Structure 1
Amino acid sequence: MGNREDLLAGARRCLEEKGYLRTTVRDIATASRVSMAAIGYHFGSREALLNQVLFAAIDEWSEAVGGLAGEGETAEERFADMWDRKVRNFGELRWLWIANVEAFVHAQSSPELLAALAAGQRAARPHVASLLRGVPESEVAPADARSLGSVQIALMTGVMVQTLTDPEQAPTGRELVAGLRGLAELLEDRSAARTPPGSGPADEWHS
């Protein structure tokens, strides 16, 4: 391998062992057996190198798992199984998801990284919506991308953080299904319980 490939491999090892925020230029150079100056020459900065390695690892994960599609006879069983697989994956690739969280924190003071993360998030919405719908991404309606895609990403981020924080108490797929059903019921109850015209406080004030 050349210096560029050595740096990519070394930065990957550093991400796995030390994380995004704690990895230094010296760490990468030592792991790569390449001079620190080579990082600037090939990538411009430590941040640019780590970003490239992190995004490549995410793409690699995405292609390998194929969205972690679940198995089962019903849609509910497949959805629950999909989440059980994701929770296991969060534990197996703990380094990758912690690096993701650290990159998000760092992005708040790095406009370039924040823009890259935002672009990835926008692209992920229609992709995950297509997986849920079971249709090609080109057939996903913009409204589905915004609704289904956003909710699924929110679930993924939240469940990931819960799993990394307290693995023994990570929610199961069935618990997530039950929670989503409970939220849907709450929304239906709130809608049905709207105050009929003429019986609200404003009407009483005017009477």
Structure 2
Amino acid sequence: MGHREDLLEGAKRCLLAKGFLRTTARDIVKESGTNLASIGYHYGSKDALLVQAYVELIESVGDTFEPGWGAEREAAAPAGSLQRFRQVWDGIIRSVPQSRAIWLLSFELLFQGDRLPEVRKLLAEAQVEGRKGILTMFNGVPERELDEESVDTEGRLYQTLLNGLMVQWLFDPDSATTADQLTEGLRRVLDAASGN
């Protein structure tokens, strides 16, 4: 690996160990075996590097959300079905123990965003990509083929559900909503909306 990749990997380890606010440029340099000048040369700033590291950490968690992930691998249900809805949420919930540190980091950034306006701006831009990524898991449409309106409506719905679900699972896993409960709730809402 070159300095750019070493910095990114070192920044990921620092984020998971210390969080965003407590990670210094010197921490990253020490963890990556590079030098301070490398951060500016390759990423422009420490914050830009940490944002890139955070985005890659979140993307790696998102890769585990696919239906059929894990030991209980089942065939992916048809896109848009209630079964697919349950499968995706089940995959997300199963990933929580392995990704807990990343989700805690997400909430650190959420609550400290006012102190880091440049970081907040970069992360706000990354949210659009997050909406695309989660939407495609439910509707089966490749990200490059998603229309803007679907991303801005359905993608926002799934992103909102994801954030709320993560709050529950981080706060108290024993009382957190399950994939079956979430799916049954949606089924009831759909039945009520259609007059059944």
What is the aligned-residue RMSD (CA, Å)? 3.0
Task: Note closer, same or farther for the CA distance 1:29–1:142 as it changes in structure 2 (3 Å cut).
Answer: closer
TM superposition score normalised by structure 2 = 0.76
Deviations 1:161-205 (A, max 9, x none): 11111122221111111222344466678xxxxxxxxxxxxxxxx
Residue correspondence of structure 1 range 127-142 to structure 2 within 5 A: 127-137=133-143, 140-142=146-148
Name the larger-Rg structure: 1
Task: Note closer, same or farther for the CA distance 1:43–1:134 as it changes in structure 2 (3 Å cut).
Answer: closer
**Runs of 5+ in structure 1 lacking a partner?**
190-207
What's the counterpart of residue 29 of structure 1? 29
Q: Is the 8 Å Cα contact of residues 91 and 167 (structure 1) preserved in structure 2?
A: no
Q: Distance in 2 between matches of 1:140 and 1:45?
A: 32
TM superposition score normalised by structure 1 = 0.73
1:157 aligns with 2:163: yes
Residue number among 106, 109, 129 corresponding to 1:100 in the alignment: 106
1:69 aligns with 2:75: no
Identify which range, 132-141 or 111-120, moves more after superposition.
132-141
Q: Is the 8 Å Cα contact of residues 51 and 123 (structure 2) preserved in structure 1?
A: no
Q: Distance in 2 between matches of 1:139 and 1:119?
A: 19
What's the counterpart of residue 19 of structure 2? 19
What's the counterpart of residue 45 of structure 2? 45
Q: Structure 1 residue 37: deviation in Å?
A: 5.0
Q: Structure 1 residue 152: deviation in Å?
A: 0.6
Deviations 1:83-120 (A, max 9, x none): 12101212211122222222233333333322222222
Aligned positions, number: 188
1:88 aligns with 2:98: no
What's the counterpart of residue 181 of structure 2? 175
Q: Percent identity?
A: 37
